[in-house]
Amino acid sequence: MVASVSEIASKVGVEVMKRGGNAIDAAVAVGLALAVVWPSAGNLGGGGFMVIRKADGKATVIDYREMAPAAAHRNVYLDSKGEYIKDSSTYGHMAAGVPGTVAGLSYALEKYGRLKWADVAEPSRKLAAEGFPVWYQLERSLKGSSKELSRYPETNRIFLRDGKPYEAGELFRQPELAAVFDRMIKQGPREFYEGKTAQLIEASMKTAAKGGKPWMTVEDLKNYKPVEREPLRTKYRGHEVITMPPPSSGGVALIEMLNILGRYDLKALEAGSSQETHLKVEAMRRAFADRAVFLGDPDFVKVPVAGLTSRSYADKLAATINPNRASTSEEIKNGDPAPYMSIRESEETTHFTVVDKEGNVATNTYTLNGSFGNKITVEGTGILLNNEMDDFAAKPGTPNMYGLIQGEANAVAARKRPLSAMTPTIVLKDGKLWFAVGSPGGPTIINTVLQVIINVVDHGMDIQQAIDWPRVHHQWMPDTITYEPRGLSPDAMKRLTEMGHKFVDKPRYMGDAEGIMIEDKTDVRLGGSDPRLDGKSVGY
């Protein structure tokens, strides 16, 4: 089964498995297909993370996060007074990190798949060349970003038809992108980093530099390599959780929150109750306070993972939670995980999950960061570039585009990977795959995955119910609860307000979780796709 935001992409993955591919082959095919059919987040010009668990129990992480070009440095987005230059890390060529998607997907395929690159890339070439019917959410996505997309002529030409946006049902062809796929099929995936595609990316950077030094070069692209990492593991209510290590903050924060909440009987409190929501928010507040200070690229800074994910550290944090009163984020600073280091214990992004008939699973989150990235399409390629440099702390201690406060550990540096919130996660029951899930949504990703796990494990929901259930979000700063329309009862909101919690002025929907569960006793795959974006699970 494949669960993704796009039925077209999900069907591509299913067809790959029907042809003898495993879950990793299918995941790579889905990732490439989403680059064609879901351009706001699916990408060749971005990066992400894949968590893999083979049927034999081996688990691993493919880190293909974007990387800062060699030209990057700590103060690159600051003016002469040390102030952040507005939009400098979100719009324009200098907002882009070196893309990792093609390198990461091809690495996963070569090491853990069965099929050849051409086999999994051909469906996407065909989709780009022959076109596909625009679906409702794609129409909404293109029209919703039309003001920003129209700033750049090539982007305006391809994605807005020079001011005549696509309507649902119309055929959308992308011949330049099809040509990129054709070159990669014939020459291999390194063509993206060393061939004509790389040269076109550098040419676009040179044009933008207007005679100055280009922000990203062919040399930057040649030097990009994915990294295979050990996943983080924890136990929650006796179930093993396998999740993302740094440079994603998602797994560390998820484990920290699960360790705190594991002290409480959430099942007895009932899903959506004021008391259950209060405890979740207090756990979120403390984990995000730590995220702001300690998390960064582990190849550049020492991240106290063992301390932050220690149950003893979680006990210390939980002891600061008043069950009847909200904390304030002003009083909740980062904790001190150092004493626990030696303890060893048993917005715009998209996610997809794949499980094959043998029980192999690949759960993948990747992104351009903002919707349609930095909005620039590289001329002659149809490739949108990311604005992932905004995930660094452009000026440590000040909020990024998601309002997140980040510290020196995540300061800009050449060839460094920015901190992420992506949290693809696998949960086992009795040592066997139970469910896998992930979501887009910037910082809300971590809390979306947390709540899906709680809904399944504590409240006995199936994967679709757990994904459908309303969500809340707190990220330490700003000190407000984000909630969904009709997500909390008036009584619960009244009680939470009386406890001292503050809410955002307007509710909004969060995330687009895509998960798959193995049903007890029958071994049937149950797909869960988020109704917030009309995702689609496809099985066979």
Q: Are 515 and 467 in contact (CB under 8 A)?
A: yes
Amino acid at 214: P
- d(Cα 203, Cα 72) in Å, to the nearest integer? 18
User: Which residue is catalytic, options 349, 350, 377, 448?
Assistant: 349
- d(Cα 227, Cα 172) in Å, to the nearest integer? 35
Of 498, 385, 509, nearest to 444 (Cα)? 509
- Contacts of residue 485, defined as CB under 8 A and 6 or more positions apart, other chains included, come to 507, 508, 509
Q: Are 338 and 307 in contact (CB under 8 A)?
A: yes
- d(Cα 54, Cα 11) in Å, to the nearest integer? 22
* Three-point CA angle 37, 40, 46, nearest 5°: 100
| 349 carries an active-site annotation | yes
- Sign of the four-CA dihedral 532, 236, 404, 344: negative
- Sign of the four-CA dihedral 239, 244, 249, 250: negative
DSSP, res 288: H
Q: How many CB atoms lie within 10 A of CB 38?
A: 23
Q: Which residues of 184-222 are buried (b: 16+ CB within 10 A; e: fewer)?
A: bbeebbebbbebebbebbbebbbeeeeeeebbbbbebbe
- Helix (H) or strand (E) holding 426, with range, is strand 425-429
For residue 476, the Cα-to-chain-centroid distance in whole angstroms is 20
- d(Cα 61, Cα 57) in Å, to the nearest integer? 13
- d(Cα 379, Cα 381) in Å, to the nearest integer? 6
- d(Cα 283, Cα 43) in Å, to the nearest integer? 33
> Maximum distance among all alpha carbons in the chain?
66
Reduced DSSP (H G I as helix, E B as strand, rest coil) percent helix, strand, coil of the chain, to 5: 35, 20, 45
- d(Cα 406, Cα 394) in Å, to the nearest integer? 9
3-state secondary structure at position 49: strand
Q: Which residues on adjacent β-strands are paired with residue 50? A: 62, 364
Q: Are 535 and 6 in contact (CB under 8 A)?
A: yes
3-state secondary structure at position 433: strand
Enumerate the H helices of 210-330 as residue ranges.
218-223, 250-261, 266-269, 274-294, 305-308, 311-318
- d(Cα 410, Cα 417) in Å, to the nearest integer? 9
Give me 494's structure tokens.
Answer: 């009244």
Active site residues: 349
